[in-house]
């Protein structure tokens, strides 16, 4: 997953043919079985369990209780990812909301409230904080990070909004007029600020690339909801930002970055945990 600091301007390089995908990774998972699915499901459950368990301890609660319920959220999140990579129109949107329910379960477990006490559902750059018991009391909060990158992309001449894929993915999707670069290397697509940017001339690989980047959107969503938003809330309370007008209507959208780096780190692309999962899932139909 690409961190915000990369920037789209740096990612758009000189005109080149679309970069080939990591063929070894793609071929590796082409013959994957249900046991591989189970392994990735378990990985997501473990991540959700640890995220909720540790936070529950910080709130002076039970690690075991937080871990168990957080693991449920991680498992639901994985089901959302599996749905998002399906090859039907709207799969990305549906999978993104299922993933959001899983992230919300993990967040609620960390807070020690009911499993579905509050659902944090992404709608473009907006987060809907929904209380299923009191829909009228739901709140909309603008993710400033996502809003910034969306505004930038809409005004960038080298990018064109792909409406059909945007509606299908449930997240902004842009087509670049030249090859996209990540950390100086050409790539077929990137996810930045909750949106997808794809290189031109993908030909027969476009469906796989699109599915791959949809996974990255959901990965970011999960980390931001389960870990980032709570971190931002804690920081806001310490800085007493609650007194700032309209602050309760926005979220910074950058709280996921420290956790994102732990999972992305300095490793080669093909070795990153998030990339391995995305390569695996793009082969699932």
Bridge pairing between strands 195-198 and 250-251: unpaired
| pLDDT for the residue numbered 247 | 77
Exposure string (b/e) for 110-126, b if CB count within 10 Å is 16 or more?
Answer: bbbeeeebbbbbbebbe
| Tokens 């980032």, residue located | 228
pLDDT given at position 21: 46
Q: Which residues contact residue 16 at a Cβ distance below 8 angstroms, ignoring those fewer than 6 apart? A: 178, 179, 186
- Residue 11: the pLDDT is 46
Nearest CA-CA partner of 216 in 181, 173, 258, 179: 173
In this structure, the number of other CB atoms found within 10 A of the CB of residue 64 comes to: 11
Quote the Cα angle for 132-145-83, to 5°: 50
DSSP annotation string for 188-254: SEEEETTEEEE-S--GGGHHHHHHHHHHHHHHHHHHIIIIIHHHHHHHHHHTTGGGSTTGGGEE-S-
Cβ neighbours around 9 below 10 Å, total? 9
Query: Which tokens sit at 207?
Result: 């469906």
Helices 63-84, 206-223: axis angle to 10 degrees equals 160
- How many residues does this entry show for the chain? 285
pLDDT (tens place) for every residue of the chain, 285 residues total = 333 333 444 444 433 333 444 566 767 787 888 898 999 999 999 999 999 999 999 989 999 999 999 999 999 999 999 999 998 899 999 999 999 999 999 999 999 999 999 999 999 899 999 999 888 888 999 999 999 999 999 999 999 999 999 999 999 999 999 888 777 777 888 999 999 999 887 766 888 889 999 999 999 999 999 999 888 888 888 777 767 777 788 888 888 888 877 776 666 666 678 888 998 998 887
What gap in Å lies between CA 42 and CA 126, rounded to an integer? Answer: 30
In DSSP notation, 44-97 reads HHHHHHHHHHHHHHHTTS-HHHHHHHHHHHHHHHHHHHHHHTSSSTTHHHHHHH
Tell me the three state secondary structure of residue 129. strand
């Amino acid at each position: 997953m690409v961190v915000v600091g990369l920037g789209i301007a740096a990612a758009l390089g000189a005109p080149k043919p679309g970069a080939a995908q990591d063929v070894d990774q793609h071929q590796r998972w082409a013959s994957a079985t249900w046991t591989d699915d189970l392994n990735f499901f378990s990985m997501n459950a473990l991540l959700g369990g640890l995220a909720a368990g540790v936070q529950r301890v910080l709130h002076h609660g039970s690690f075991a209780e937080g871990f168990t319920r957080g693991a449920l959220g991680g498992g639901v999140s994985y089901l959302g990812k599996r749905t998002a990579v399906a090859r039907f129109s709207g799969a990305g949107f549906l999978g993104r909301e299922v993933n959001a329910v899983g992230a919300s379960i993990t967040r609620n477990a960390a807070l020690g409230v009911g499993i579905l006490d509050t659902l944090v559902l992404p709608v473009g750059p907006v987060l809907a904080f929904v209380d299923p018991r009191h829909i009228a009391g739901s709140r909309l909060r603008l993710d400033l990070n996502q809003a910034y990158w969306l505004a930038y992309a809409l005004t960038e001449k080298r990018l064109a909004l792909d409406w059909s894929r945007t509606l299908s993915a449930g997240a902004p999707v842009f087509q670049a007029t030249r090859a996209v670069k990540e950390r100086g290397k050409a790539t077929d697509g990137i996810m930045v600020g909750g949106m997808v940017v794809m290189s031109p001339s993908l030909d027969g690989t476009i469906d796989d690339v699109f599915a791959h980047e949809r996974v990255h959107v959901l990965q970011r969503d999960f980390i931001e909801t389960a870990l980032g938003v709570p971190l931002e809330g804690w920081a806001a309370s310490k800085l007493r930002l609650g007194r700032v007008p309209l602050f309760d209507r926005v979220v910074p959208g950058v709280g996921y970055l420290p956790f994102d780096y732990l999972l992305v780190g300095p490793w080669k692309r093909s070795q990153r945990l998030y990339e391995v999962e995305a390569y695996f899932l793009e082969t699932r139909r």
